[in-house]
């Protein structure tokens, strides 16, 4: 690899780490804004993402790409569906942090890549490698352990994993960049968000405007939402998909550590569940790394390599 490529790859790696680290620190932000009800905070997150996203589009000269996507009915319809999945995911995650269920949020994003693989097999005809199958089995055992031994079915975790998988599948069907796509999704959601905030204001239950610190924190939800995605988009173009796949576990690991920091109760059932999930994640990451190696591709052939991706 020549020097410019090394620099580009290193920049991509740091950007990927930055993106997942910002996502991993989200619990700190949502704990700081617990005084704001989850639906209002979600509405502000949508509202303040729009102007900040527009600035990014102007800076990156992607207004034209955004307009082209809006003019395509199929693209617009799929992005509208994606926006519903994204808003549901955001809202439930905020709610999870506010009711002190950070571990469930973390668990959801650990499970998410495994759900992706399962959906690819069930609905897109992709074949499951033995290691991928074993990883999914370990994840299922973890969920069962928490449900049976701990008496807590991880509904929040599974909802977060499934809703973000639906979002990812819909975005995969659309040929549009990360930032233009997000801007259109926010644009679709802006009217109901604005109407909800107006209704809260009319009923006298709007938190925004009652505390200066909370006001600024709610405004900050715009850049907090957009910046990680921007860093992720930068990284995705500069590092290998297998590297990006391993980096995605940085986020839920940091969320898990946030749960420890904030003193959430970590039971024996949690320990069993997370141990099984971590083993599944390790197997999944190893399989992704192994299948991306050139020597493995030469031994197995192109068809088998694609099967394991």
- Tell me: the pLDDT tens digits for 271-300? 999 999 889 888 877 877 677 665 544 444
The CA-based angle 209-212-214, given to 5 degrees, is 80
Which residue, among 123, 98, 97, has the nearest Cα to 109 in the 3D structure? 97
The CB density around residue 90, as the number of other CB atoms within 10 Å, is: 21
Q: How high does pLDDT run on average in the chain?
A: 85
The CB density around residue 268, as the number of other CB atoms within 10 Å, is: 10
Specify the pTM. Answer: 0.83
Those residues whose C-beta lies under 8 Å from the C-beta of residue 275, and which sit 6 or more positions away, are: 142
Confidence of residue 235 (pLDDT cuts 50, 70, 90): confident
- 10 Å CB burial of residue 91 (0-12, 13-18, 19+) is middle
Angstrom distances, CA of residue 140 to CA of 152, 246, 252, 288: 14, 20, 18, 20
pLDDT for 50 beyond 50:
yes
The predicted model gives 167-176 an average pLDDT of: 85
Helix (H/G/I), strand (E/B), else coil: 204:
coil
DSSP letter (8 states) at residue 36:
S
Helix (H/G/I), strand (E/B), else coil: 153:
coil
Confidence of residue 307 (pLDDT cuts 50, 70, 90): very low
Tell me if 186 sits within 8 A of 49, measured CB to CB: yes
Distance CA 98, CA 78 (A): 30
What pLDDT shows up at residue 302? 42
């Amino acid at each position: 690899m020549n020097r410019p490529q090394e620099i580009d790859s290193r920049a991509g790696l740091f950007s990927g780490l930055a993106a997942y680290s910002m996502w991993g620190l989200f619990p700190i932000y949502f704990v700081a804004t617990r005084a704001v009800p989850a639906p209002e905070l979600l509405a502000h997150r949508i509202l303040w993402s729009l102007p900040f996203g527009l600035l990014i589009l102007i800076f990156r000269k992607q207004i034209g790409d955004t307009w082209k996507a809006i003019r395509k009915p199929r693209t617009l319809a799929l992005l509208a569906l994606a926006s519903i999945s994204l808003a549901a995911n955001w809202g439930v995650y905020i709610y999870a942090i506010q009711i002190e269920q950070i571990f469930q949020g973390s668990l959801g994003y650990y499970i998410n890549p495994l759900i992706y693989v399962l959906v690819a097999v069930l609905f897109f005809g992709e074949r499951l490698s033995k290691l991928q199958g074993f990883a999914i089995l370990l994840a299922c055992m973890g969920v069962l352990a928490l449900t049976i031994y701990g008496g807590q079915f991880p509904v929040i975790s599974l909802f977060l994993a499934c809703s973000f998988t639906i979002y990812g599948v819909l975005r995969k069907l659309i040929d549009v960049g990360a930032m233009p796509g997000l801007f259109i999704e926010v644009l679709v959601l802006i009217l109901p968000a604005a109407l909800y905030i107006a209704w809260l204001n009319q009923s006298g239950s709007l938190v925004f405007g009652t505390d200066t610190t909370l006001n600024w924190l709610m405004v900050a939800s715009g850049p907090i939402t957009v910046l990680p995605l921007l860093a992720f988009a930068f990284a995705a173009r500069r590092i290998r998909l297998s590297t990006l796949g391993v980096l995605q576990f940085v986020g839920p690991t940091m969320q898990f550590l946030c749960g420890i920091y904030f003193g959430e109760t970590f039971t024996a059932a949690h320990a069993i569940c997370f141990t099984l999930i971590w083993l599944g994640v390790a197997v999944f990451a190893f399989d992704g790394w192994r299948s991306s190696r050139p020597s493995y591709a030469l031994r197995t052939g192109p068809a088998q390599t694609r099967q394991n991706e």
